[in-house]
Structure 1
């Protein structure tokens, strides 16, 4: 008699064990959420994975609620964020009254709620410098692992010849995130985190591993051919070099060497794309159709904002009326203008203040030498993302909100403790 064992049984057992673990300790669920958010395994483009991701968030929130009811933990708000989030969230909900397309409005509301939940889950899950340092390790390792698996999968799909390997420079790499620009934005945000792992790690083997990780992740920005990513990482380097040179620290070499390597390896095709991009902005000569279209969308979003400066046209609804300006309506590829056109000043002011306060909060803990590097990394990572969203419409991208939460932890919870 042959006994058939379904291959789903181990999966069911593993999932059940994971559910039990998350219910027992909500912080396990938060770590899973962070990993999925940065690697985008539960990303916006894949319907099934996205809804599984929502289930994990809900399960983690349920576990946190149980912990609160048991009296083992007290939910904490973020003083600098609470009122701003309340204003922004309330108007986002109410903007449905003036929205033309309620399906777009509801979809963005769902993304907003998800971002708010993740923000507070992370904030209530970690409170010590050593926990943040460990979180940095998990984030960087997750991105490195997911990227290297995707990279070798891409190479494996090519035949091993000089021509096909050279085609890597014409294939835009996006890791597990699907969109190369989204991927480059995420990498720009975590490079400073990886840099801190290099400088703070005491064990030689691990230090070497983080150096390799940084080099590889930097190379993937080259392969992504993302102008957004290159601009964001360039601003990060300028900001970082200024701060490190001012302090005359030897760690500056960890930033200079990757820059030199990246400049050497960037293919001519990318510089051609950048030159066309610059010329499209300045004179329109050799106009890049993508750039021209984006400029049209930006002007359209600005026009919509100027016509509806207070209330906007409803969350997510710029896309609904963009057809009046262009034959290919889509988001305007600028988060700030996207929010301005959708929610007017009622939404833009609290949103921009939220980003500003997120950037300033870690400054409070930079006076503490034990967590100064962690604070610098989060501020620098946020700066890179703030630059990237000048070219992308991603107001609720989860890695951005996770960094905001970490910034709040460093600025509000951590005062005087020992180095990780």
Structure 2
């Protein structure tokens, strides 16, 4: 078999792993197939000599961020094994979602296939959530998801913007695919409401009108669609008293409203950690230990492992180095996506802009980026970032055969 055929076969295997991952990512199988794709990429290096050309600073800001966290780690922990393991698991391992696209070049057509399989997964999960809600189950339903309900919330923030964008118009290769995406949005709206995650509601109150307004040329049509979605969502809320109560509690910061008041106390505790340890923080992975032993408010009623704000998490654990590097990373990603969309108003650029905005909003009330217990979201974030960079030629590959 020639090298060209071997490389083609390896590329097909990589894509197959990505498809299987997209179909199973909400189950306990989760990131295994991403790692399989990564290992096949490593195998591919035995047959090619890749030359990578970068025309973006995304990678620079990611390297700056992980370096600052590592400096915090060695400054406070003297390379303790548990903290190193946590750093590797939360910060380094998710990078494979991005590194894959330095070796494997996904095409626009294959991206649409991949997005459709993500859409199928979310549709099936939404149907299960709706069924459980129909049976009268209350709380925070997650369907097939084997993880914390905030994992599903983060997944929605990352993937729904892509599906919404591509539901608005016919695609270049599959002119019927937008109907799948529309169905996914239609059944996920009630599922999102019944999941009772308020930051997701707030994010999509901004993202849905933004995507629809920017994605549809006929602004009157866009306005009508926004109104229809608003009426549809309002009707769903009326079917769920628990969701209505959650919605009404968003602005209630009194002590009696535990979730909101508790967050204020956690943010205060994280801020105090930063004030006492401004340069390197308390050390990567040391938030919970310091929170319990020294910084937990006497008024607190919960024992949370993180401060429910990604910026404050990095600020408290890694000081000004971690907080500033995270802030610069997010701001650059947003700035670049806005600039790219203005230059080329296509669906991939609009969907990634909506994705990074929704994800950033989610990070305001939870720790969703390289964070304890939700690191799987960072894999997905890097995966879609890699696709965005490849399809915009920010990453260019030139492969020479060995």
State whether TM-score is above 0.5: yes
Structure 1 residue 96, shift from structure 2 partner:
2.7
Confirm whether residue 221 of structure 1 aligns to residue 192 of structure 2: yes
Confirm whether residue 330 of structure 1 aligns to residue 305 of structure 2: yes
Confirm whether residue 174 of structure 1 aligns to residue 142 of structure 2: yes
Structure 2 CA distance for aligned equivalents of residues 124 and 355 of structure 1: 25
Asked if the contact 2:55/2:394 (under 8 Å) is kept, the reply is no
56, 74, 77: which one aligns with 1:99:
77
Q: Bigger shift: 336-345 or 207-216?
A: 207-216
Aligned residues: 369
Structure 1 CA distance for aligned equivalents of residues 220 and 266 of structure 2: 44
Which residue of the partner structure matches residue 244 of structure 2?
271
Relative distance call for 1:198 and 1:407 in structure 2 (3 A) is same
Query: Which runs of no fewer than 5 residues in structure 1 stay unpaired?
Result: 1-20, 43-48, 156-164, 416-420
Structure 2 CA distance for aligned equivalents of residues 79 and 414 of structure 1: 8
Relative distance call for 1:414 and 1:119 in structure 2 (3 A) is closer
Structure 1 residue 145, shift from structure 2 partner:
2.7
286, 290, 301: which one aligns with 2:270:
301
Structure 1 CA distance for aligned equivalents of residues 230 and 50 of structure 2: 45
Q: Secondary structure at the match of 1:211?
A: helix
Structure 1 residue 212, shift from structure 2 partner:
1.7
Which residue of the partner structure matches residue 404 of structure 1?
385
Structure 1 CA distance for aligned equivalents of residues 104 and 390 of structure 2: 10
1:373-414: CA deviation from partner (whole Å, max 9, x where unpaired): 221011112211110111111213222222332332344449
Confirm whether residue 64 of structure 1 aligns to residue 41 of structure 2: yes
1:289-338: CA deviation from partner (whole Å, max 9, x where unpaired): 22222221111111111222221111222112111233624211111111
Which residue of the partner structure matches residue 388 of structure 1?
362
Q: Bigger shift: 193-202 or 62-71?
A: 193-202
Asked if the contact 1:332/1:393 (under 8 Å) is kept, the reply is yes
Which residue of the partner structure matches residue 40 of structure 1?
26
Structure 1 CA distance for aligned equivalents of residues 49 and 125 of structure 2: 35
5, 18, 26: which one aligns with 2:14:
26
Q: Secondary structure at the match of 1:25?
A: helix
Structure 1 residue 196, shift from structure 2 partner:
2.8
Relative distance call for 1:361 and 1:125 in structure 2 (3 A) is farther
Task: State the Cα RMSD in Å.
Answer: 3.2
Structure 1 residue 150, shift from structure 2 partner:
5.6
Tell me the TM-score normalized by structure 1.
Answer: 0.76
Relative distance call for 1:81 and 1:341 in structure 2 (3 A) is same
Which residue of the partner structure matches residue 143 of structure 1?
122
Identify which of structures 1 and 2 has the higher relative contact order when contacts are C-alpha pairs closer than 8 Å and 6+ apart.
2
1:29-58: CA deviation from partner (whole Å, max 9, x where unpaired): 34444554xx3324xxxxxx46xx35x444
Relative distance call for 1:259 and 1:367 in structure 2 (3 A) is same
Which residue of the partner structure matches residue 357 of structure 1?
332
Q: Secondary structure at the match of 2:249?
A: helix
Which residue of the partner structure matches residue 299 of structure 2?
none
258, 263, 267: which one aligns with 2:229:
258
Structure 2 CA distance for aligned equivalents of residues 388 and 299 of structure 1: 19
